[in-house]
């Protein structure tokens, strides 16, 4: 991980106002870097803030949501300081997103090719003919026959729709691709095909990819580095090897133990008792404290900072601070 990051997120904090008027802090002080040509995985359970992170980075938060603090540097420009007009120049051209549930994200009454065509034309990149050629090239790149350009989404299978969504995201040749649960609704074999496709595209185009998923197996297969999120905060952040083989945060350790491994069957599965915290009613200290098996008294009082425990490996747990000795 040398060189300058393509995207650098620092202290990103996002809040939502609920219909009852309560404030829900969906993201709290989230920081990570995306290097050019690298794949980074955002993992966590439902409600941990993975999708909110993507939406905040794209500045596509739904009504009621706002970014209250932080910096998002994309090639030395703070995206959060841009006007809405300027931000539009970045979306799709510099950073594109493959939305969650891509199966249903296509317009059902519009030909697939036309939808990709529209994405290109909206950004005034080229003339009609060049755009048409690009549509077919894109379809081919994701493994869809050019002849299926004029078909409607219902004529595509789930895996093909997901491929079409990827083609559309690539329409304006972005440097950065966000993929929100791109394989979740797909069968294992189709899932493997889509992951393989993402890897190929990344190699061919030198894309950086931010992959959001709850599936630790998917992350292990494709990611270079991993951000483990819990309750809107970064619990642990490091290279894939750090996370899978030297996990330091109790949550990461538990999450890994709860994940069934087909290569080592038969052991018991560890579960994590309890449920993730409600964002409107967060615990005062560490977010994971109520469910943690290693907690000490201080955990419920102090919010642990994100500490670098070894080069490029960050953990948010006060047990790693050296306080451990003081309490024993």
Which of residues 73, 125, 141, 190 is near another protein by CB under 8 A?
190
Residue 39 CB, shortest distance to another protein, in Å, is: 11
Kindly tell me which of 79 and 179 has the beta carbon lying closer to another protein. Answer: 179
Kindly tell me which of 8 and 39 has the beta carbon lying closer to another protein. Answer: 39
Residue 323 CB, shortest distance to another protein, in Å, is: 26
Within residues 8-67, the interface with another protein by CB under 8 A covers 45-46
- Provide the mask over 241-280, with x wherever binding to another protein is found by CB under 8 A and - wherever it is not: x--xx--------xxx-xxxxxx-xxxxxxxxx-x-----
Which of residues 128, 137, 140, 196 is near another protein by CB under 8 A?
196
Kindly tell me which of 110 and 270 has the beta carbon lying closer to another protein. Answer: 270
Q: Which two tokens stand for residue 117?
A: 């065509």
Asked if residues 249 and 318 have their Cβ atoms less than 8 Å apart, the reply is: no
3-state class of 214 per DSSP? coil
Q: What is the DSSP letter of 91?
A: B
Kindly tell me which of 114 and 261 has the beta carbon lying closer to another protein. Answer: 261
Question: Is 151 one of the binding residues for another protein (CB under 8 A)?
Answer: no
Which of residues 83, 127, 129, 189 is near another protein by CB under 8 A?
189
Q: Concatenated DSSP letters for 12-76?
A: EEEEEE-TTS-EEEEEEEEEEEE-TT-EEEEE--TTSSHHHHHHHHHT-PPTTEEEEEEEEEETT
Within residues 211-230, the interface with another protein by CB under 8 A covers 214-218, 220-221, 223
Bridge partners of 25, per DSSP, are 15
Residue 122 φ then ψ, to 5°: -60, -25
Q: Concatenated DSSP letters for 160-211?
A: HHHHHHHHHHTTT--SEEEEESTTTTS-HHHHHHHHHHHHHHHHHHT-EEEE
Within residues 131-150, the interface with another protein by CB under 8 A covers none
């Amino acid at each position: 991980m040398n060189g300058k990051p393509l995207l650098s997120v620092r202290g990103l904090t996002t809040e939502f106002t609920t219909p009852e008027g309560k404030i829900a802090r969906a993201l709290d002080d989230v920081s990570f870097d995306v290097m050019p040509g690298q794949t980074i995985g955002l993992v966590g359970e439902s409600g941990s803030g993975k999708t909110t992170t993507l939406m905040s980075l794209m500045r596509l938060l739904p009504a009621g949501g706002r970014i209250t603090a932080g910096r998002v540097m994309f090639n030395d420009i703070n995206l959060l300081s841009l006007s809405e007009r300027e931000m539009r120049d970045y979306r799709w051209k510099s950073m594109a997103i493959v939305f969650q549930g891509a199966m249903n994200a296509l317009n059902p009454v519009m030909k697939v090719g036309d939808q990709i065509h529209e994405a290109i034309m909206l950004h005034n990149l080229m003339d009609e003919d060049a755009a048409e050629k690009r549509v077919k090239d894109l379809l081919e790149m994701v493994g869809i026959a050019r002849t299926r350009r004029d078909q409607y989404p219902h004529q595509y299978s789930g895996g093909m729709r997901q491929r079409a969504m990827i083609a559309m995201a690539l329409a304006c040749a972005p440097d950065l691709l966000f993929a929100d649960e791109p394989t979740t609704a797909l069968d294992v074999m189709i899932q493997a095909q889509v992951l393989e496709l993402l890897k190929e595209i990344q190699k061919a185009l030198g894309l950086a990819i931010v992959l959001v998923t709850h599936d630790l197996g998917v992350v292990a297969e494709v990611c270079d580095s991993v951000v483990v999120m819990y309750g809107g905060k970064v619990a642990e952040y490091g290279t894939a090897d750090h996370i899978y083989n030297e996990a330091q945060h109790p949550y990461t350790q538990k999450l890994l133990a709860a994940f069934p491994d087909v290569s080592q069957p038969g052991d018991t599965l560890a579960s994590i008792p309890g449920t993730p915290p409600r964002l409107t009613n967060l615990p005062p200290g560490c977010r994971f404290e109520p469910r943690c098996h290693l907690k000490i008294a201080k955990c419920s009082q102090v919010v642990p900072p994100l500490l670098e425990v070894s080069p490029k490996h960050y953990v948010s747990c006060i047990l790693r601070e050296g306080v451990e000795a003081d309490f024993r």
